[in-house]
Amino acid sequence: MLVIGDEILSGRTRDANMHHLAGELTRAGIDLKEVRVVSDDAAAITAAVQALSAAYDTVFTSGGIGPTHDDITADCVAAAFGDSIDIRDDARALLQAHYDGTGRELNAARLRMARIPSTATLIDNPVSIAPGFTIRNVHVMAGVPSVFQAMVASVLPTLTGGAPVLSETLRLELGEGDIAGPLGELAARYADLSFGSYPFEQNGRYGANVVIRGQDRPRVAAALADLKSLFAA
């Protein structure tokens, strides 16, 4: 995932899209391997799109496809793939119908949202109509969470996933230094599963939540049973 926007890096806006996408991909049996955040800088966006597109099967971008001068994502994605970009008739028609229906003008600023790379396909946006788009293996989406979520829902059925990732958690009131050795040995025995240890502090008590993740339900259940037995005392 590529998150685009100065407002994220400045701390002004807390990104919610990564959390949503991670959950949706997990349910679809698709691993989210990397999330990169870049500023509203053309060179940085273009380079990140090229790098992530080459490294992964699928890339989702978030942010920078609105009507203002700093919404440069569409141009940068087009540049990343050497594609031309201009106002597309199909995108313009969607916007025209929407603004005619609301009695507002489709002005020059709003028309910026109809600028789509020539070889891209549109991503449906039932929330605010202005489309996202897909070019090669990159899905370009809005940064507004409600719109991003609607676009994700449009794209997910087109992706090939696997079995949903299951997870089980055991809360231990033991420090990570106390559990690290035995936990590492257990993780080695269940190399096909993912084990994570996440420390906590609550009301002066310390411990760790151990999370087991995998796609095979009986295997995850067996690992959880062994984990409970390992720290039963």
* Final residue before a domain boundary, out of 103, 124, 158: 158
Q: Grade residue 233 by pLDDT with cuts at 50, 70 and 90.
A: low
Residues 69 and 95 in one domain: yes
pTM value is: 0.85
The CATH number assigned to the domain holding 40 equals 3.40.980.10
CA 60 remoteness from chain centre: 6
Can you give the residue range of the structural domain that contains 218?
166-230
Q: Grade residue 133 by pLDDT with cuts at 50, 70 and 90.
A: very high
Measured CA to CA, the distance from residue 13 to residue 10 in angstroms comes to 8
The CATH number assigned to the domain holding 206 equals 3.30.70.2860
Residues 112 and 68 in one domain: yes
State the number of CA atoms in the 13 A half-sphere of 59 facing the CB.
25
Residues 137 and 177 in one domain: no
Tell me what the mean pLDDT of segment 38-61 comes to.
97
Residues 68 and 151 in one domain: yes
Q: Grade residue 32 by pLDDT with cuts at 50, 70 and 90.
A: very high
Q: What is the mean pLDDT of the chain?
A: 95
* Final residue before a domain boundary, out of 158, 176, 207: 158
| CB 115 within 8 Å of CB 76 | no
Q: Centre a 10 Å sphere on the Cβ of residue 105 and count the other Cβ atoms it contains.
A: 10
- Angle formed at CA 104 by CA 103 and CA 110, multiple of 5 degrees: 150
Q: Grade residue 232 by pLDDT with cuts at 50, 70 and 90.
A: confident
- The 3 state secondary structure assigned to the chain is CEEECHHHHCCCCCCCHHHHHHHHHHHCCCCCCCCEEECCCHHHHHHHHHHHHHHCCCEEEECCCCCCCCCCHHHHHHHHCCCCEEECHHHHHHHHHHHHHHCCCCCHHHHHHHEEECCCEEECCCCCCCCEEEECCEEEECCCHHHHHHHHHHHHHHCCCCCCCEEEEEEECCCHHHHHHHHHHHHHHCCCCEEEEEEEEECCEEEEEEEEEECCHHHHHHHHHHHHHHCCC
Q: Grade residue 200 by pLDDT with cuts at 50, 70 and 90.
A: very high
Residues 54 and 88 in one domain: yes
* Final residue before a domain boundary, out of 113, 135, 158: 158
Residues 187 and 152 in one domain: no
Residues 126 and 108 in one domain: yes
Residues 204 and 174 in one domain: yes
Residues 65 and 88 in one domain: yes
Q: Check residue 204 and give its pLDDT.
A: 84
Residues 101 and 213 in one domain: no
Q: Grade residue 162 by pLDDT with cuts at 50, 70 and 90.
A: confident
- The number of folded domains in the chain is 2
